[in-house]
Structure formats: structure tokens, C-alpha cells
Structure 1
């Protein structure tokens, strides 16, 4: 078996292949469990050291069938531990690497918890039409039936494909190709956790070959107006999760602590209790940008007359976590709600 794998790789080395950079940030794909059946309890919290980028590459020699591979470790943490400053650092490094003629595409290994936020952030700030593919796993590298190795092979094959060029940042998991705009984590532990509830998948990987069925239409990457090259931080934006009977005390608190924007994850089609609405109205009167969205996980929240008097922005098809990412970047470009609504409509 190993001999056959090596023959495949040696044959591929004789071909003209693209140069793919794998940038590692950590996550489950680089985590160890205490045993092969430890599929949900693993990682640094148990004192188990994460796997470095070179060991990750060496464990899956099949990736060399698709590209000349080089790796770089930028972080090695679970994605729940990442910060906005980490996203800025990652994005700047991606732009540096992609500007080089020696790099034809990029794969970023990542944790699943906040993968959709990182993917969408990169989709807004990467200044290249070269393929950028985020990949992760739901099971640790030491787990029985670990999904990381095949996910990594597919991600490299996707990044190496000329068909991926110009399609923005992609996510490749469980043989499915997702756009950064459409993807969302929809399950806590299942290997099919990543779904695209509103947009559908862009395509599928079969035998490590991409088959695209659609392309993203929203503005992204090289089409984007956002520039983070000189930014070290972003405006503070918080999410308020609306529930039955909730009041506005949390909204009042985040305004007092200096939030420049609030995403309200409303019930149903952005509805909310009167007390929540009152606090959001007061926040807007103080200059805070208020975006009304939904906690449902799918669906579009278009501008509605009932909120016109409050000068709120509608989240459109962005879930609360992606609305937060977009509003932080929008606030670096605009402060009036009409301009910000235009951004939410175009991206």
C-alpha cells in the first residue's frame, strides 16, 4: 500500500504542477485524542500537544500528486481561541503569499468552530483571484475514521484546480465545495456539519476532482472595496441573541462598553420583544449602527417598513456571526446606514 502511494507521488512529480502553500492555524485537524475512540474530547485542554504543519503534510503524501507543497504554521490553536487580531494577521500574511508568483493557490487548515467567520473575513479582504481553500476536520487526527486526511487531499486538489480561480474563498469539507458567503456550521460533531442552507453547495469533490455546479455572485476578494493592510484592530461589534421575553439590558451594557455596532439576532423574520426594540432604538440614537437579523439560521431579512423609523440596517442573507464580520469591516468605510445597507446587499 505504501509503495503504491509513493509510486503515485513519484509519477506526479514528473508532471508540471502548481505551487500550493498550506497555511496552518490549528484546530481539530491538527489535534490528538487520548485514544482512537476519543472523537469529541481531545486537544490541548487534555494536555495533548497539537500536530505541526510538517507532520500534517508528511502524514498525507497523496497531496503531492496534485501540487508542489510547502507549509507554514501561523497559529496552532483551536478556532474558538482566535481573535480579530489573529484574523488580521492571517489575512495580511495571505495577501503577502498570494502576491508572489511562486504561489499559485493556498490551503488554510483551521478549526471548525469559527471556520465560517474566518472564511468570510478572508473572502472580503484577500486581494487575489488565486484559489484559497479552507479545510478542517470534525474528528481528531488520532480518531478512528478521521476525516482530516481526505479533506486535506480534496482541499489541495481544489486549490490546485484552474476551475477554482476567481470563485472567492472556498471551504472544502466532506466531499462538498462551499462558498465562504454560503457556508455555515450546522451540527456540533457530525462529519457533515458544514452546510449552505440558503445558497446550496458550489459543487462536489469526486475522486479528488472538483465538479462545480454554480459560482458565487456576491462581491468578494479581488472585487472587494475593503483594505486591512494598515489596520491593527477593528470597530467593536456585538451580537444580541433575542429570546422569548428578553429585555434590552444586554444591549444597554454593550453600548455602555463602547460597541460601535450591534447585530440583533431576532426571532423569526427579525422580530423582537418591545423592550429589546426600545434599547436598540436608544442605541441608534447614540450613533450605534444596528443590524437586524435572525437567529433561525436560514432565510433573508430584507429592509422592512416597520423598521424605517429607527434607521436600522437589514442583515439580508447574512447570519449573525457573518453580519458581525461584515459590519466591523463596513464601519472602516462608512458610518451612515444607507452606505452600510448597500454593503450588506452587495457582499
Structure 2
């Protein structure tokens, strides 16, 4: 009799306890290969941004078991066409959505070509500790063995994890979690294109099981000094000039003539350039143009006053940031009227 009463009591308890509510994750779509469509199965070409956000969600029914989802279409473009206007719109939308108390995390679908740039930009201007996760794919949605569905699934998983809170903007692709400041694209077509060559991964995923590694030491999101003013409609002009054998000064001069307030030299080796280019860069630096020495080799640190006298020339050394991310940091620094010394300090912190 006692055993039967216990069974009845347990049954009543199980019936009366409500199911735990799932986390609410908002998916913001911007287009990219993950939403791409081929003309035919055998056609390697495709049109990015062919599918809408709800199409992406419907293609992965397992997502309903992970979180309560809602989607918004912010843009629908290939990420080669990403621009300042969309960046500002996206950043504001992320901040608006993240401020809603019923939202636990945000996932952004994007193209791989400029994913690292958008992620780093958001990492500096988004004002929330809630998980913000970017994802993409190397194969269009209609291809055989498309990588988008699993990338999206794991991104939503990461966005629901308490371990992801306060880590800044993350990127999830190919079973890996990357920090925005570390990730870079390294291959034209391989699904494992995204790497974090300097400080390594933020974590790993195996389906719905995600393991997080050490947190980043870089400043980001709520600790960032950069904010987007309500009336801002564009970012300062900063150009990248690629260094090479027999580099002339003409491209540096042309960038300044076109209105560039800053120039990032994608240098050879540890941020080097030809003597002619160096003299041109120093000349413009003395006239107030921010000159940053970075490197196009893909990894490593560009240190101050190594081979090039940055103090004498008035240059900034990019440290670990590649040219495309260095450009973003300079754009935001210029919004604050930061000088060369201030900007160099920013490269140490961000």
C-alpha cells in the first residue's frame, strides 16, 4: 500500500510540474551563401541571399527542440556587398533586440567573405552580455552536404548556453567556436576555412554538446568604449593598401586624395613596405592621416619599432589585428577624434 501511494504521489508531482521554458533566440538574417541557391545541383555557381530567414529555420526542424525562435530579415545580400549602412542598421538592431528581457541570445546569419569584419565591428559596438553568435556556410543551401544547417543548429545551441554569456561576439562554423577578434577566413572554398591562428579557438561543438575554452582577454561589448551615436549614418573613410614587390607611393597618395582619414598598410612580413611607400606614409602621417602597419601574411604580431621606426614616423603598429580588422578599429577610433597615441593604446586593448 505504501509503495502504491508513493507511485501515485510521484505521478501527481510529474503531472503538476510545468515543463521548463526554452531560451528565446532571435535570428537576424543578412543573406550570404547560407541562404544561397544554385541554378542546378551540378552548378558550382549560386545566388547568395536567395532564401529568407524563415526558410533557414524551417530547413532545420531540430531547432525547435533547442530554443524558442523568432526571425528578422535585416538584409539579404552576399557579404562581399556588406557596407557601413547595413553595419549600423545591424548593430542598432542587435542592441534593440538584446535589450528585450524575453530575449536570451541572438544568432546572425552572414556570408563568410566578410563575416570576420562584421563580427569584429559588432564586438566593439554591441552593448550586451547576452550571447551574440554569427554563423555562415561555405556551401549554398541547395548543395549536396550543405554545411549551413549544422552551423545554424550549433549557433543556436551556443546562443542558449550560459557559458557564452559575457564572452563577446562569437562565430560558430564547422563544429568550432571562434572569438570575433581572432577569426579569419583562410581558404576560398573549404568548409574548414575559418581559423583563429593567433590565440586559438573559443570552444568546440559536437552536435548539441559545446565545450568552451578560456575567455578572451580583449575588451569587447559592454567593456568597449565605442558606441554608435543615434545620428550616425556613416563611418570615417579608412583604406587598405596592399604591399608588394616594387611598391610605389601612388596608391597611398590616391587614398589620401580620395578622402581617407586613415590608411592601413597590409605589409609584407611584419608590416614592412618599400622605402618609397614608407616615405609617402610618413609624409601623410605628419599631415594628420592615421597610418597603421599591419601584415598580409595571416598570423603573428606586428610590433612597434621593429625594422620600421614607428615613433619617428608617427605610425601605429597593429599588433595581432589583420588589415581588415585594423581598419575597423581605426574607423571607430576616428569617431572619437583619437590621436596616434590613443589609437596605439586601443590596438593593445582590443
Q: Report if aligned partners of 2:136, 2:173 keep a CA contact under 8 Å in 1.
A: yes
Q: Report if aligned partners of 1:168, 1:221 keep a CA contact under 8 Å in 2.
A: yes
Deviation string, structure 1 residues 128-148 (Cα, Å, up to 9, x no partner): 000000000000000000000
Name the residue aligned to 1:274.
275
1:335 shift after superposition: 3.1
- In structure 1, distance between residues paired with 2:288 and 2:213: 43
1:339 and 2:304 equivalent? no
Name the residue aligned to 1:232.
233
1:178 and 2:175 equivalent? no
Unmatched segments (≥5 aa) in structure 2: 1-17
- SS of 1:146's equivalent in the other structure is coil
- In structure 2, distance between residues paired with 1:132 and 1:314: 29
User: For the pair shown, which has the larger CA radius of gyration, 1 or 2?
Assistant: 2
Name the residue aligned to 2:305.
304
TM-score by length of 2: 0.92
Name the residue aligned to 2:331.
328
Name the residue aligned to 2:47.
43
Q: Report if aligned partners of 1:334, 1:340 keep a CA contact under 8 Å in 2.
A: no
- In structure 2, distance between residues paired with 1:300 and 1:64: 43
Greater mean deviation of Cα atoms: 298-307 or 161-170: 298-307
Name the residue aligned to 1:204.
204
Name the residue aligned to 2:103.
103
- SS of 1:142's equivalent in the other structure is coil
- In structure 2, distance between residues paired with 1:26 and 1:207: 24
- In structure 2, distance between residues paired with 1:152 and 1:36: 22
Name the residue aligned to 1:318.
321
Q: Report if aligned partners of 1:24, 1:72 keep a CA contact under 8 Å in 2.
A: yes
1:307 shift after superposition: 2.2
Q: Report if aligned partners of 1:19, 1:103 keep a CA contact under 8 Å in 2.
A: yes
Name the residue aligned to 1:81.
81
1:31 and 2:36 equivalent? yes
Name the residue aligned to 2:166.
166
- In structure 2, distance between residues paired with 1:189 and 1:217: 31
Deviation string, structure 1 residues 216-248 (Cα, Å, up to 9, x no partner): 110000100001132211110000100011101
- In structure 2, distance between residues paired with 1:258 and 1:287: 12
- In structure 2, distance between residues paired with 1:125 and 1:217: 17
| Pairs aligned (count) | 330
- In structure 2, distance between residues paired with 1:67 and 1:36: 32
- In structure 2, distance between residues paired with 1:208 and 1:41: 31
Q: Report if aligned partners of 1:79, 1:111 keep a CA contact under 8 Å in 2.
A: yes
Q: Report if aligned partners of 2:286, 2:314 keep a CA contact under 8 Å in 1.
A: no
Q: Report if aligned partners of 1:138, 1:191 keep a CA contact under 8 Å in 2.
A: yes
Name the residue aligned to 2:10.
none
1:99 shift after superposition: 0.5
Name the residue aligned to 2:5.
none
1:311 shift after superposition: 0.9
Name the residue aligned to 1:129.
129
Name the residue aligned to 1:142.
142
RMSD of aligned residue pairs (Cα, Å): 1.2
Q: 4+ residue runs of structure 1 moved beyond 4 angstroms?
A: none
1:54 shift after superposition: 0.9
- SS of 2:117's equivalent in the other structure is helix
TM-score by length of 1: 0.93
Deviation string, structure 1 residues 150-193 (Cα, Å, up to 9, x no partner): 11100000001111000000000000000001000000100000
Unmatched segments (≥5 aa) in structure 1: 1-12
Name the residue aligned to 1:187.
187
Q: Report if aligned partners of 2:24, 2:102 keep a CA contact under 8 Å in 1.
A: yes
Match for 1:19 among 19, 24, 40?
Answer: 24
- SS of 1:133's equivalent in the other structure is strand
- In structure 2, distance between residues paired with 1:341 and 1:149: 40
Q: Report if aligned partners of 1:92, 1:229 keep a CA contact under 8 Å in 2.
A: no
